Amino acid sequence: MAAPKRPRGSRAATNGRGPSTRAVTRVTTRAVALGRGPAAGGRVEVRKTYKVYIGGQFPRSESGRSYVVSAADGTPLANAVRASKKDLRDAVRAARGAAAGWGNRTAMNRGQVLYRVAELMEGRRDQFVAEVAQAEGLRDERARELVNRAIDRWVWYAGWADKIAQVLGSSNPVASDYFNFTIPEPTGLVGVVAPETSSLLGLVSRLAPPLVGGNSVVVLASESRPLPAITLTEVLATSDVPDGVVNVLTGRKRELVPVLAAHADVDALDVWGVPDELRTDVELAAADSVMRIARRPKGATDARFDWLDDRASERPEWIAAYLEMKTVWHPIGV
């Protein structure tokens, strides 16, 4: 009986049961190059998808836009969401809805919640080390030092949650039948433009202070090094931080910062990571709604600030920048 004819254009293997080894190798190599084939160990690599973090969820941007994030050596790492103005407005709305509940929690409870963030980061330390090393072009030892200090910084600021009111508050002597107290209260909703060059430690150092004081936050992550910030949101999402208290967007600062600064529902703005050429216009836009402004220390630059310096980065004044002082009168004997 005659052997069946091969389909036109095909090559049978020498045993007549399948494609040649050369053809399989060629197809497999191309699939791996496209990210669809087996990686080392014979399995398909599961690529991570980076999204924005709004209201405790990880929605896709309504714009559908993204941009390529590269390592310090120029190697493409991932596509990050290029958030739109609507995404920013959604984040502000979520933060506003969460502000009252977070601010009304006891100071001790807020400290416990933020300490839990440090606990969860400790369990994912190796992942953070790898991402910080890639983003900032560092050796693993140096990246590990930065990650360790970021975890420690959560702990340090969490410890101030139930102490800052004792330091800033006072009982004021008055010549009447009244008690007079000055008490710090949260400002409300804080916009944080994260440092550009310190992808994790700088971000934590600017995010923790407003949270400790009971404020909700909208963060614009580092534009060039956003991946550790998104991994941090995965920690926040599985911690005890209520939905909407922290919202993180990635994208172009020149597009998003002016919108954040002009938003009438934002009560304070941390301009640390604002590009220098935008700083004047941003502060003028913030002044229209009498927005509080938190700036870098005088003479400090984003690129040269030493975030590992505890004396420079662990400061109760950074918490006080997002607190309002309320003075109340209370009749004696009532």
The token pair that represents 251 in the structure block = 């994208």
CA 194, chain centre distance (Å): 8
Element spanning 219, H or E: strand 216-220
Are 154 and 180 spatial neighbours (Cβ–Cβ below 8 Å)? no
CA 291, chain centre distance (Å): 22
Backbone torsion region of residue 317, taken as left when φ is above 0, otherwise alpha when ψ lies between -120 and 50, otherwise beta: alpha
Are 74 and 270 spatial neighbours (Cβ–Cβ below 8 Å)? no
pLDDT of 333 > 90? The answer is no
Reported as a single tens digit per residue, the pLDDT across 147-197 is 999 999 999 999 999 999 999 988 888 888 888 889 999 999 999 999 999
Unique residue bearing structure tokens 């959560």: 154
Q: Which CA distances in Å does 122 have to 71, 118, 204?
A: 24, 6, 14
* Strand, helix or coil for residue 309: coil
- Stated pTM of the model: 0.84
Residues whose CB falls within 8 Å of the CB of residue 75, separated by 6 or more in sequence, listed in order: 134
Out of 15-19, 231-235, 268-272, least confident range: 15-19
pLDDT of residue 40: 56
Phi/psi of residue 207, nearest 5 degrees: -80, -40
